[in-house]
């Protein structure tokens, strides 16, 4: 069961009144025994949904909701719940005046739309969307209102197609904006779900993100406190989608509120990795956008946080290898962020990153812990970007910490991108050595000592044009006997 669903079922106050209690339906022991003895309980429950007797119908609804609660991530929902049943459940929920029925069916539809893109699409393209929206707007009970928000979040979060079909019928953005504007009167769990809805509403390039700018300052304030983790995580989710939209207005808004100042202190091994992934992703987007953001984060001591985080990661990983491997995607975003700093035109920042921190050394150690090419590629990108400088001291430092050896060691990798990055780094070092000593290229000598020349020579025959060209240029200029 994922965190959102746990939050959904455990934090609502006063949900007992909305639950269908099978024992309270007084259907008799013979009936209950018949159900318990039936080998196809879902089929039994399904038949009851179509009964006219309200007690039998409610019992069937409860059992179907229970069944959807235990569905697994990759299950084929359509093999158990056919389209006719799904649409019937939606119609009963929309038309029922019994809040227990509405509650139980809302939960069942949340589960179904979570696991089935087919049914999500069917619902998004049906006129039922307007009915559910009307229910969400008008129903006074927050516990039920929240479930409808959840259904819409599932629908629009599934794909851009379902998002487009849904917002063509109802104005979800205005609803979300108005509700979040009144966040002080909402129960915390409702704000949490609204933030998630907002994140899904703005995550597509076709979305109207501009309308949401007015309420993002409200979202930002929830990133300053970790008291309610649910609110923090969904606020983080919404901000991540804001940064991923890549509009100038989005970046201006985040810079104005100095979002990086709020997020940087969370760069710690004590922070949950799902949150770290989002934090690093936001910082990647911000640092990619402009140099002003790079400078702002630099002044907020982000390099110190990177250094401490990497140091602690290496210590933990040496006794617990799975720690690093399990969170590969999070580390990839961290490395991309560091790479953005290595690529900056602000030489003071690049110089401190390479010459005044242990980050380059830690990256070399990090590579040794993982066989994943994705991590290696990002580390190579960091050093490639760092080498793109006129500062001799930076290149000399990279040579001193054995970055050249990293490039040489990975030439045999059967990955064209890795080969291009390694060859590009080697060529950069060779050109640098030409500058510092005209008659004796120390890098050329080192390559011969390391046995890298043979690999470079062989790569001239590569089927990848980029690899072949760089290796040819190296051999032609430096090793053409």
Q: What is the pLDDT of residue 1?
A: 43
212 in the same domain as 156 = no
Q: Find the CATH number of the domain harbouring 140.
A: 1.25.10.10
Crossing angle of helices 29-37 and 41-49, rounded to 10°:
130
Inside any domain, residue 424 = no
Inside any domain, residue 263 = no
pLDDT tens per residue, range 388-432: 998 899 999 999 999 999 999 999 999 999 999 999 999 999 999
H/E run at residue 319? helix 302-319
438 in the same domain as 449 = yes
Our count of domains for the chain comes to: 4
**Confidence at 7, pLDDT banded by 50, 70, 90:** low
Q: Give the C-alpha separation, 290 to 112, whole Å.
A: 42
Of 105, 140, 168, the residue that ends a domain is 168
Range of 64's domain?
1-168
396 in the same domain as 282 = yes
226 in the same domain as 316 = no
134 in the same domain as 14 = yes
Q: What is the pLDDT of residue 5?
A: 52
288 in the same domain as 251 = no
Cβ count near 193 (within 10 Å): 25
pLDDT averaged over every residue in the chain: 92
pLDDT tens per residue, range 224-266: 888 888 999 999 999 999 999 888 899 999 999 999 999 999 9
For residue 266, what is the DSSP state? G
Inside any domain, residue 395 = yes
Of 225, 257, 289, the residue that ends a domain is 257
Angle, vertex CA 231, rays to CA 230 and CA 235, nearest 5: 120
- Which of 22 and 383 is assigned the larger pLDDT? 383
Q: Give the C-alpha separation, 407 to 423, whole Å.
A: 7
313 in the same domain as 440 = no
**Confidence at 8, pLDDT banded by 50, 70, 90:** low
Contact assessment for residue 85 and residue 46, using Cβ atoms and an 8 Å cutoff? yes
């Amino acid at each position: 069961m994922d965190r959102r669903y746990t939050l959904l079922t455990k934090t609502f106050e006063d949900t007992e009144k909305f639950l269908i209690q099978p024992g309270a339906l007084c259907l008799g022991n013979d009936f209950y025994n018949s159900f318990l003895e039936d080998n196809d309980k879902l089929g039994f429950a399904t038949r009851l949904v179509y009964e006219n007797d309200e007690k039998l119908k409610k019992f069937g609804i409860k059992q179907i909701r229970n069944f959807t609660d235990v569905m697994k991530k990759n299950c084929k929902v359509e093999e158990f719940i056919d389209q006719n049943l799904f649409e019937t459940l939606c119609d009963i929920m929309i038309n029922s005046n019994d809040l227990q029925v509405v509650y139980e069916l809302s939960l069942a539809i949340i589960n179904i739309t979570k696991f089935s893109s087919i049914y999500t699409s069917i619902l998004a393209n049906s006129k039922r969307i307007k009915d559910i929206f009307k229910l969400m707007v008008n129903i006074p009970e927050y516990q039920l209102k929240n479930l409808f928000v959840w259904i819409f979040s599932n629908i629009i979060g599934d794909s851009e197609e379902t998002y487009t079909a849904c917002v063509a019928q109802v104005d979800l953005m205005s609803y979300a904006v108005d509700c979040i504007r009144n966040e002080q009167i909402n129960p915390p769990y409702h704000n949490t779900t609204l933030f998630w809805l907002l994140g899904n509403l703005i995550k597509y390039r076709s979305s109207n993100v501009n309308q949401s700018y007015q309420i993002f300052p409200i979202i930002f304030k929830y990133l300053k406190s970790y008291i309610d983790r649910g609110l923090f995580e969904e606020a983080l989710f919404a901000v991540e989608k804001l940064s991923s939209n890549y509009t100038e207005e989005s970046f201006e808004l985040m810079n104005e509120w100095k979002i990086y100042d709020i997020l940087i202190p969370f760069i710690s091994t004590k922070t949950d990795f799902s949150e770290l992934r989002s934090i690093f992703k936001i910082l990647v987007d911000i640092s990619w956008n402009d140099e002003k953001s790079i400078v702002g984060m630099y002044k907020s001591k982000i390099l110190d946080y990177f250094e401490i985080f990497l140091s602690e990661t290496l210590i933990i990983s040496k006794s617990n290898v799975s720690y690093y491997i399990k969170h590969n995607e999070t580390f990839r975003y961290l490395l991309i962020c560091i790479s953005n700093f290595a690529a900056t035109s602000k030489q003071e920042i690049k110089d401190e990153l390479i010459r005044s921190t242990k980050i380059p050394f830690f990256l070399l150690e990090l590579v040794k812990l993982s066989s994943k090419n994705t991590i290696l590629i990002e580390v190579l990108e960091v050093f490639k970007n760092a080498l793109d400088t006129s500062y001799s001291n930076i290149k000399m430092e990279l040579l001193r910490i054995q970055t050249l050896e990293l490039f040489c060691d990975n030439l045999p990798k059967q990955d064209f991108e890795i080969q291009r990055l390694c060859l590009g780094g080697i060529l950069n070092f060779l050109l640098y050595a030409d500058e510092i000593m005209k008659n004796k290229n120390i890098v050329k000598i080192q390559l011969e000592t390391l046995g890298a020349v043979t690999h470079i020579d062989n790569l001239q025959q590569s089927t990848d044009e980029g690899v072949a060209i760089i290796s040819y240029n190296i051999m032609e200029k430096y090793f053409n006997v």
